[in-house]
């Protein structure tokens, strides 16, 4: 027979005494009150600010690169109109995007060794920094593309004035610099098509490299500014 002596009641903890007094109805009332309690304002604003930050991140980065970057001229593989356009976007294929072109550049083999699996395949998404150097032109009316001189796995601490470090990532057999696709207006597309048609009419080869003007910031990020076909400038809007 259980004892109801004061000594046995004293052994109950405060939590145990509270649980004995709390009924299921009390629990339901407390739960409903908590559900109806308005959320703090910061919990409503925080997700909105996060989404706005994501939306603004890309244009802000592009603005910074445009202001702090250095103008660089890159060369594409060809200006074949069959390969140049994809829908309403330019599909630019650079010579520095192809590993076979970078094999001759200093540091490429070391970069491949550090970023390859045991079977020799380069790991997808591997980052590189391609150091480009401006070439001197003896003809002031002729543009010169910047020449790749070195490949590194990390961003160089300092470079000379006529050099930049362009950041790229290895994807599906190519180096992607974020400069491969760019949306253009229908008017620009028609102008470029007309210019390329003239090239095909006057030259034996249907493919001719075109030059792309970009800005590269100190972190290696780049934005395209425009392209040149036969020294005619097509600025990106």
pLDDT digit string, tens, across residues 30-45:
666 555 556 566 565 6
What is the per-residue burial (b if ≥16 Cβ within 10 Å, else e) of 104-114?
Answer: ebebbeebbee
| Percent above pLDDT 70 for the chain | 60
Q: What's the rounded mean pLDDT across residues 163-183?
A: 92
Q: What is the dihedral of CA 125, 129, 130, 131, to 10 degrees?
A: 180
Ranking 89-93, 193-197, 216-220 by mean pLDDT, the lowest is: 193-197
Residue 149 has pLDDT above 70, yes or no: yes
In the structure, how many helices (H) and strands (E) does the chain have?
8, 11
pLDDT of residue 20: 56
Report the alpha-carbon angle 31-35-40, nearest 5: 130
- If one compares 236 and 205, the residue with the highest pLDDT of the two is 236
Structure tokens belonging to residue 76? 């594409």
pLDDT of residue 189: 80
Residue 83 has pLDDT above 70, yes or no: no
Helical (H) or strand (E) element with 7: helix 6-10
Mean pLDDT of all residues belonging to the chain:
76
pLDDT category at 190 given cuts 50, 70, 90 is: confident
pLDDT digit string, tens, across residues 48-65:
665 655 454 445 555 545
């Amino acid at each position: 027979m259980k004892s109801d002596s004061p000594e046995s009641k004293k052994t109950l903890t405060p939590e145990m005494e509270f649980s004995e007094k709390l009924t299921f109805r009390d629990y339901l009332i407390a739960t409903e009150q908590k559900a109806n309690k308005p959320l703090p304002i910061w919990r409503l604003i925080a997700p909105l600010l996060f989404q706005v930050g994501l939306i603004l991140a890309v244009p802000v980065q592009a603005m910074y690169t445009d202001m702090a970057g250095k103008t660089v001229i890159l060369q594409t593989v060809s200006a074949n109109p069959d390969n140049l356009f994809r829908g309403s976007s330019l599909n630019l294929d650079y010579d520095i995007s192809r590993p076979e072109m970078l094999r001759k550049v200093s540091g490429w083999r070391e970069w491949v060794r550090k970023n390859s699996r045991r079977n020799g395949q380069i790991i997808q998404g591997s980052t590189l920094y391609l150091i480009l150097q401006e070439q001197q032109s003896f003809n002031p009316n002729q543009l010169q593309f910047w020449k790749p001189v070195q490949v590194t796995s990390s961003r160089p601490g300092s470079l000379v004035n006529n050099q930049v470090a362009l950041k790229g990532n290895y994807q599906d057999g190519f180096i992607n610099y974020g400069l491969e696709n760019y949306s253009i207006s229908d008017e620009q597309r028609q102008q470029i098509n007309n210019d390329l048609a003239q090239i095909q009419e006057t030259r034996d080869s249907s493919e001719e490299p075109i030059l792309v003007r970009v800005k590269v910031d100190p972190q290696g990020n780049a934005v395209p500014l425009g392209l040149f076909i036969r020294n005619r400038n097509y600025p990106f809007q």
